[in-house]
Amino acid sequence: MGMTITTILDYDFMRNAFLATLIVGIVAGAVGYFLVLRGETFAGHALAHVGFPGATGAALIGLSPIAGLSLFTVLAGIGIGVLGSKANRDVAIGIVLTLSLGLGLLFLHFYTAYASQATNVLFGNVLGISVQTLWVLAALGIVSLVALGLIARPLLFASLQPELAEARGVPLGRVSTLFMVVVALSTVDAMQIVGVLLVFALMVAPAATAMRITRRVSTGVIASIVLAVAIAWISLVLAYLTDWPTSFWITALGGLGYFAVSLPAWFGARRPT
**CB 254, CB 206: distance < 8 Å:** yes
**CB 251, CB 201: distance < 8 Å:** yes
pLDDT at 270: 56
The Cα–Cα gap between 26 and 237 comes to: 18
pLDDT at 84: 60
Cα distances (angstroms) measured from residue 272 to each of 11, 159, 205, 210, 254: 42, 22, 19, 11, 21
CB neighbour burial string for 147-159, b if at least 16 within 10 angstroms, e if fewer: bbeebeebbbbbb
Would you kindly state where each structural domain of the chain is located, as residue ranges? Answer: 2-266
* Average pLDDT, integer, range 115-144: 81
**CB 180, CB 43: distance < 8 Å:** yes
Count other C-beta atoms under 10 Å from residue 233's C-beta.
Answer: 16
The Cα–Cα gap between 258 and 200 comes to: 14
pLDDT band of 111, cuts 50, 70, 90: low
pLDDT at 61: 81
Q: In 3D, which of 62, 61, 193, 58 has the Cα closest to residue 125?
A: 193
pLDDT at 267: 66
Is pLDDT of 87 > 90?
Answer: no
Count other C-beta atoms under 10 Å from residue 15's C-beta.
Answer: 15
Is pLDDT of 33 > 90?
Answer: yes
Is pLDDT of 215 > 70?
Answer: yes
The Cα–Cα gap between 32 and 204 comes to: 6
The Cα–Cα gap between 17 and 166 comes to: 43
**CB 190, CB 243: distance < 8 Å:** no
* Mean pLDDT, the chain, integer: 83
Alpha helices in the chain (DSSP H): 2-8, 12-37, 41-60, 65-83, 86-110, 115-123, 131-160, 162-167, 172-213, 217-242, 246-266
Is pLDDT of 208 > 80?
Answer: yes
User: What global pTM score does this model have?
Assistant: 0.85
Is pLDDT of 95 > 90?
Answer: no
Q: Which CATH architecture describes the domain 2-266?
A: Orthogonal Bundle (1.10)
pLDDT-above-70 percentage for the chain: 85
The Cα–Cα gap between 241 and 247 comes to: 14
